[in-house]
Structure 1
């Protein structure tokens, strides 16, 4: 027999510790759920931390689709009146979010851990923007703030963007340092800047030398932002982390036991690529939740990267994951798609939006 209670529950007066515990569990799953909880009532907002630039508040599993099935060829933020479609690659959930006006923010140029990078060419203003928390930070411009090695080149290709966030003890996390990987004709340059800087600095990549039969090869291509850190893979499959102090530089954090030189199969894609693993069992301990994909002759090699120990684990099967190079992993079984999305596959020359935008 079902007994209905006429007692009204005063959810606004839920114990603060209970609210914080529930909020923490939601935040571990998705920052969007955390924001929804805080929006319920003022007492719940008071009981929980306001979103900041800490990595735990990054919308890292959210992807903005450049082409929306409901809006033909709408690239963010070309039409600010349109709520652009975002999809969670871990759960398949979708959201429609209004992005800042083009007149103020300009062109969307890159993304990292769910954060969006914009450049307004008319004002030469670069901004990093969190689409879920609406936090924004202004960075140095590109016209006057680039180092000569980049400014003097005509052919520059942005291959990756990332964010580095450092916290001092229990103090709130500072505004993020944005990292850009630029491919020049004969080399690769890593730039970094934080809000308040008047120019972009360069990351010392002098630890890397790559030559093959007398040819000078760009040492790396792209990179991956994970949990407030930024990592780049070399052509031999090594993984390096960008360190900001005392001066920006690279440090080796992992080397594969079978180092072998890989060549790019296409100009738009490097021969060794880092992608998110999307496996909750991978995160924590000595693993930052990333996979290293090596494109070999006639084969594709996928390795799990264990940063703490510098070890690699071969991944023979991707399970329900699908990888879209150069840097996106999704849980394919969350996306009923057309054309059908083959689970456990590495896609080299296909656009993820062809499968999930419709």
Structure 2
């Protein structure tokens, strides 16, 4: 595949710990980061689970407050209130436990504490068809530690999304909020349902595939994406078949981590541009939205992204020798659909519970999402609406 005409690459100064029981070292790691009064951030269900119990036990008196009401799609009001509480308590860092909403909320609060103003002041803006404005958020941020229990990879990236009061997802990009420490502890995820690993794993898979054909792709992110695809397509069926399999859970966590490294540089495309609205306005979980939309977005980009999709097919374990690039791209789409069936994720928006009357508003809202800017094929609102209808 021909490389883009020049590229740039950056990695944030994060430390990764990956081993069962790694949470036990959190107190020492937090002290190393200068964190003495931390706010724990999680959703209600995660707050009652194994990972949070292990984090509490490890950090002990360093926990100044627990903010455990993060909803599935964290909103501006939630993050603003959380930042105000953190300021009042004088916390010096956040520990986000759980899925992407916990990490995104901690990131959003760190931005507010450092930059002031409102969250909307710092959000990126995309004006279709091709004008993108990324805010520069230069103020130093409080450190964040992330303990993911799903495969969203939100903990890896400089990006985040927060739902506004109109159901639109505000998106941000700030290398300063990437967690300083990321802990992949498979032992702490054994009470997380395999079905949640399956849907969020499709999100991670989408990161890898979209990163391969992004307008700002590069050869390093491509290599990471291919390995991420291999790990995820192997691990997800194993987790679903045997939820107690720690090796499979760890492989899935590493695959998701790789996917986060991919989009930290190559970004995402129309798939995520649509999925943001499916969550913030449509009410679907981000994992479920990704599980449904991925093959449809791949098909939308098929003709302009045949070569990277052919590489994705090979990483999915498909033999492409003798196939044309378009035939290999079709094989990649078929392989993703086969994985959907194998791990039992929803395959249609109707099946997932979306109100079909929202489709026009979802198409309209997607047009302002930055994912459309990085997609290899520009899209009009009628085309986005047709894509949504195809996924029904």
Calculate the TM-score normalised by the size of structure 2.
Answer: 0.29
Question: Whose strand fraction is larger, Structure 1's or Structure 2's?
Answer: 1
Calculate the TM-score normalised by the size of structure 1.
Answer: 0.30
Q: Which has the higher contact order (CA 8 A, sep 6+)?
A: 2
Question: Whose helix fraction is larger, Structure 1's or Structure 2's?
Answer: 2
Structure index of larger Rg: 1
